[in-house]
């Protein structure tokens, strides 16, 4: 990792793919190795962005897709300028549970805003600020649904049907055709996934 600049890593994938659990394991490893890092999430990451998150993920929300994506862009701008960039400038590793790719998939593809339209907004408003690397967790719709049934707390995306999860997987397939993405088979054991992530991080830093 560059001594003057930190490394920005995001974790992406469908619901219940195990991203959050792997982030916790990575946190433990980095703490043990005394590698400076912060963890954050999207939507969210700042007090303002967390407030917008509550509106966006609310089960019964009356905002339309244009309003939703503009709220996401506003939240992300605040997040980048107040959390991510300051940490990177200090040489700190930044780990985010979701980032812009989720917008491209959920709002852009699944909710028909348009992937390219969402990417253009991101480019024009946020100067195309993206993670250096993204761990993309892949999991079949049937396994997603089986895992979601075990969840106690659900957001509006967790309650949708199989077709929705098929679309999410297709959306991620469409946007992940470049070297920024490191694909993870989320059906593998927690230990094997953790090893792959740690090995990759060690190569990057």
* Residue 1 scores a pLDDT above 70: no
pLDDT of residue 5: 82
Q: Which domain holds residue 148?
A: 8-204
pLDDT in tens, 23-61: 999 999 999 999 999 999 998 888 888 887 777 776 556
Determine the average pLDDT of the residues in 172-185. 97
Residue 14: which CATH number? 3.40.50.300
Residue in this structure with the two tokens 């593998």, named with its chain if needed: 188
Are 81 and 193 in contact by the 8 Å Cβ rule? The answer is no
Query: Peptide bond before 43: cis, by omega within 30 degrees of 0?
Result: yes
What's the structural domain count of the chain?
1
pLDDT in tens, 62-120: 788 998 899 899 999 999 999 999 999 999 999 999 999 999 999 999 999 999 999 99
Segment (H or E) for 123: helix 115-126
Pick the residue with more confidence: 44 or 21? Answer: 21
């Amino acid at each position: 990792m560059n001594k003057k600049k930190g490394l920005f890593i995001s974790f992406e994938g469908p619901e219940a793919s195990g991203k959050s659990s792997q982030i916790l394991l990575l946190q433990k490893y980095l703490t043990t190795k005394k590698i400076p890092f912060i963890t954050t999430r999207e939507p969210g990451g700042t007090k303002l962005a967390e407030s917008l998150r509550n509106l966006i993920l609310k089960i019964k929300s009356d905002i339309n897709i244009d309003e939703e994506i503009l709220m996401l862009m506003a939240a992300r701008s605040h997040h980048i300028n107040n959390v991510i960039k300051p940490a990177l400038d200090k040489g700190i590793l930044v780990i985010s549970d979701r980032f812009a790719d989720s917008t491209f998939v959920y709002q852009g593809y699944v909710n028909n805003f348009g992937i390219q339209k969402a990417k253009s907004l991101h480019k024009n408003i946020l100067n195309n600020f993206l993670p250096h690397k993204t761990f993309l967790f892949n999991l079949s719709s049937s396994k997603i649904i089986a895992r979601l049934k075990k969840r106690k707390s659900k957001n509006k995306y967790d309650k949708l049907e199989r077709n929705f999860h098929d679309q999410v997987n297709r959306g991620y397939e469409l946007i992940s055709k470049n070297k920024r993405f490191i694909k993870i088979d989320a059906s593998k054991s927690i230990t094997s996934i953790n090893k792959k992530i740690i090995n990759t991080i060690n190569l990057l830093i």
